[in-house]
Structure 1
Amino acid sequence: MQMEKTVVLYPGLAVSHFVPMMRLGAALVEHGYAVSVALIDHAVNPDAAFGAVVAGAAASMPSVRFHTLPLVEDPPTVTPGAQFLVSYYNLVHSYNDRLHDFLCSFTRVHAVVVDSLSAEALGVAKTLGIPGYLMFTSSAATLAAFAQLPYYTLAKGSGTSFRELGDTPVELFGLPPIPASHLFGEALEDPDSDTYKATMAGMSMIPDTGDGILVNTFESLEACAVAALADPRCLPAGRVMPPVYCLGPFLGGIGEAKERHDDCLVWLDAQPDRSVVFLCFGSTGTANHSEEQLREIAAGLENSGHRFLWVVRAPRGDDPDLHALLPDGFLDRTGGRGLVVKQWAPQAEVLRHRATGAFVTHCGWNSVLEGVMAGVPMLCWPLHSEQKMNKVHMVGEMGVAAEMIGWQQGLVQADEVERKVRLVMESQEGREIRSRVAAHKDAAAAAWSDGGSSRAAFSRFLSDVDGRQAPARAGEDA
């Protein structure tokens, strides 16, 4: 009897990283693979939203086996902000022995796929002779930038740090110029800091990342970046990128409770087609706005005259008191054409709804893809991580968005909110953006159809997995 082909997934402790990997798992199951998910106990980084998504995935994917690795003694604490990457890398390192033991519990593992935040774990797979792949949950352009940034200042022959460059454009092979100020936060740290050194060391390892990199994108959306990743000029002489497989878009919620969706969707059902501006800034509390900013948004929405659905979080992450946070009388005055909800909304379903006409987004990559797949024009309001870099491509090569400029000064004022909402909803420029997004929506669907680029890349990935013979091990299949 032929032994089942087992793939082990090792996702990161973030909703935005976990969900795409579970979608990959679903695709693997459809192609006859046995899928097991190894999880670091999320008690080390308590996040109610993440815990709920994991529980939902386990309940809704009965053919996938979920295994929480035994808790290590005194695990490192994951800290937000500038120290996040260093602390997360330390956490992953502390679990390498646990992952090793888990992999050894199988008779044979055909491949291991690890999250981009957990790249060091590929060393465990390599030690055991198991093919290992990295899943990069952001864009191909971000991957190309990450691969090149560690060598940028060396190539320029300058000791100047990225943070000293200010808005000076950073020119990377195959990418449009990116203002240095738009790089992710860790790259803008002091070059002598542990955070900067660990970040650059991690990115310099990308060319040595296992047997391939899976990217949650599709080729036509990022044609220039995809071409750059396949070009030897992307890296210094002697460095070669592993195979890159553009398998996206992997989208959608996992096992979410339908009753949580009713209020938003029922309200949208009563609105005209393409009439509602949807404002949502991600799945985590790191996307909170100040009270001053919330009031500016409210004034801009009211003055725009357009319908809106706005997800509001309190500045400090607690349960928002909407009457205290928003201008006096705002909820009453806009009640006939606006809906304000607390903390959360079913973003993908809202975007797909016929009434949604525009999307104000923080430019997280999953959100970008959801906007594209829904064919909804976007307004960019980046907040952290690589979102500023995504914004450059959304407004530029992709042409799917306009930008809220005020974020660069730390406050988007009401008059800009009003102007940009009117631009995307009323103007010729807005109609052109909508047309380009619609074209990308069609291309995304084609990418996973017969003969499409993502389907072909997935077939190449499976062929590569099947062509690599992982050694059989003692022990029962877990």
Structure 2
Amino acid sequence: MDNGVNGSVKQTVVLYPVGGVGHVGPMTQLAKVFLDHGYDVTMVLIEQPIKSTDSGAGFIERVAASNPSINFHVLPPIPTPDLATSPKHPFLLILELMRQYNGELESFLCSIPRARLHSLVIDLFCTHAIDVAAQLGVPVYKFFASGAGTLAIFTQLPALLADRRTGLKELGDTPLEFLGVPPMPASHLVKSLLEDPEDELCGAMMKILKRNAGTRGVLVNTFESLESRALRALRDSQCVPGQVLPPVYAIGPLIGKAGTDKAWHECLAWLDAQPDRSVVFLCWGSKGALPKQQLEEIAAGLENSGHRFLWVVRTTPAGSDDPKRYWERRGEADLDALLPAGFSERTKDRGLVIKSWAPQVDVLNHPATGAFVTHCGWNSTLEAVAAGVPMLCWPLAAAEQKMNKVFVTDDMGVGVEMEGYREGFITAEEIEAKVRLVLECEEGRKLWERAIELKKEAGEALEDGGLSQAAFLQFLSDVENL
């Protein structure tokens, strides 16, 4: 396959994610795969209209600095409305903004000689760019940074909603049947998809989901043995009757590697002093801020369990029960004010509480880590799978986390749920019980055996000749043969 490696000029792949850590991060891992196969890669970004600590501001600069082989191109700014004061939902405004950038995207793509331009790879929320690619005759593919199970549901959902006059919210926890996945409680779908189909936000999401068919194929951040049932469904002609779906390429797990983060952290030295598989690691992702009352329950549960723990604390401002308000300020949590009196002193010999951030991939791959309390974001899920660590599933309300919880517990068999997540509050007794279950009981031993099995399969998938490697090579071949 001639990608220009043996010639004078390499072919260029253009990646186009919507901004934000959860989109740019996985797309960066995809960029590394293209680089490994000899392609030039340019990641095209837009100026974010809203700056916040979780928007990706600063993160993108760090990513660019640590990945000099990737070209980062920010499209010229265009006049935009004041998103902060607009009555429209921010998501709708971002979608409209991406559409308005089509002209700038087209100009950039035209600046690359057509013979050099290999393909345009967009993420889920950049579907307006399909029109640009079609106009220029550029092969366009979608990169789905979540799992195949979520993609299977998203693919089938428009047909389900087309037969309903009302939304799915009224169904509560009623299980919905989709091809390729376990029964999914209606309440666990992405929040915007539960609204009335006539709702503007729900309608916008439906248009996005339907446009998968407008691409040449979908690259999915998963691997065959992890989600074989969902992948089979996506390749089944009956998945969406009357519609021919594009090819699906399972090319994951695309995650960061342990030991690549240059920032040393005290928790790694602390873990070095702990016995193997003895520590429960608690971290709820970049947006996992919890109110003080919940933090007190966690502290009590960990203390009563008697087990070692490494706990990353993000919290709301004092007096606030709204986790979103955490991001209105910068600064770190005052642990003494948040945790029960004497907790730190009583647990100092077996626990470490840290503020805001930990090198998660390094922690999960450390021999001392025995369990992972997680919000079930897909990146975190894959990182735990690749590290061979069982999960205690505590999904929050955001995105597809509750769906991922069902996949982890019911399909993958590598985690258990923390009861109470549906109500948004988990007791100290539940925390203690589940920590003990994973670290002490026979059920926990079986979870560990399954986790080690999946770790082995994840590694094999990425090896030369592995299924994920083969899927990526098939994708390259398909582009060449268009």
Common fold: TM-score over 0.5: yes
Provide the C-alpha distance between the structure 2 equivalents of 1:47 and 1:333, rounded to a whole number of angstroms.
Answer: 33
C-alpha separation between the residues in 1 aligned to 2:221 and 2:353? 31
What is the TM-score of this pair, normalised by structure 2? 0.91
| Residue 34 of structure 2 is aligned to residue 28 of structure 1 | yes
Aligned to 2:245: 241
CA distance, structure 2, for counterparts of residue 49 and residue 12 of structure 1: 11
Residue matched to 1:445: 459
Query: What's the counterpart of residue 273 of structure 2?
Result: 270
Tell me which amino acid in the other structure corresponds to 2:135.
T
Q: Say which is worse superposed, 71-80 or 307-316, in terms of deviation.
A: 71-80
**Greater RCO structure (CA 8 Å; 6+ sep):** 1
**Aligned residue in 1 for 2:298:** 297
Are 2:21 and 1:19 equivalent residues in the alignment?
no
CA contact (8 A) 1:45 1:77 kept: no
What are the superposed Cα offsets for residues 202-260 of structure 1, whole Å, 9 maximum, x if unpaired? 2122222x1110000001000100000000111022x111011100010017997623x
1:151-210, Cα deviation, whole Å (9 max, x unpaired): 1143xx4434210111111111222110101111111224332111111222122222x1
Distance 2:225 2:85 in 1: 37
- Contact 2:258–2:362 at 8 Å: present in 1 too? no
Name 2:322's counterpart in structure 1. none
Separation (CA, whole Å) in 1 of partners of 2:49 and 2:258:
20
- Counterpart CA distance in 2 for 1:268 and 1:49 is 31
Give the 5 Å matches for 1:53-452.
53-74=59-80, 77=83, 83-108=89-114, 109-154=117-162, 157-208=163-214, 210-237=215-242, 239-252=243-256, 258-259=262-263, 261-283=264-286, 285=287, 287-315=288-316, 316-317=325-326, 318=329, 319-383=332-396, 384-452=398-466
Given that 1:76 and 1:90 are in contact with CA atoms closer than 8 Å, whether structure 2 keeps it comes out as no
Matched-pair contact (CA < 8 Å) for 1:10–1:39: yes
5+ residue gaps, structure 1: 469-478
State the shift of 1:42 in Å: 3.2
Q: Deviations over 1:1-33 (max 9, x none)?
A: 643211111122121221221111111112111
Task: Check whether the contact 2:218–2:246 (CA below 8 A) recurs between aligned residues.
Answer: yes
Q: Deviations over 1:281-337 (max 9, x none)?
A: 012x3x211111111111101111111011111223143111111111111111111
Q: Secondary structure at the match of 2:57?
A: helix
Letter of the 2:285 counterpart: G
For 1:336 and 1:297, how far apart are their aligned partners in 2? Answer: 18
Query: CA 1:294–1:27 in structure 2 vs 1: closer, same or farther (change >3 Å)?
Result: same
Q: Which ranges of structure 2 fall in alignment gaps of 5 or more residues?
A: 1-6, 317-324
Identity among equivalent pairs (%): 51
Q: Among 453, 470, 473, which residue is 1:459 paired with? A: 473
Measure the CA separation in 1 of the matches of 2:83 and 2:46.
Answer: 13
Moved more, 121-130 or 143-152: 121-130
Q: Distance in 1 between matches of 2:193 and 2:258?
A: 33
Query: Within 1, Cα distance between the matches of 2:449 and 2:127?
Result: 38
Distance in 2, Cα, partners of 1:213 & 1:416? 40
Alignment check: 8 A CA contact 2:46 2:75 kept = yes
Runs of 4+ in 1 over 6 A off after TM superposition: 253-256
> How far does residue 37 in structure 1 lie from its aligned partner after superposition?
1.2
**Equivalenced residues, count:** 461
Backbone CA RMSD of aligned residues? 2.1
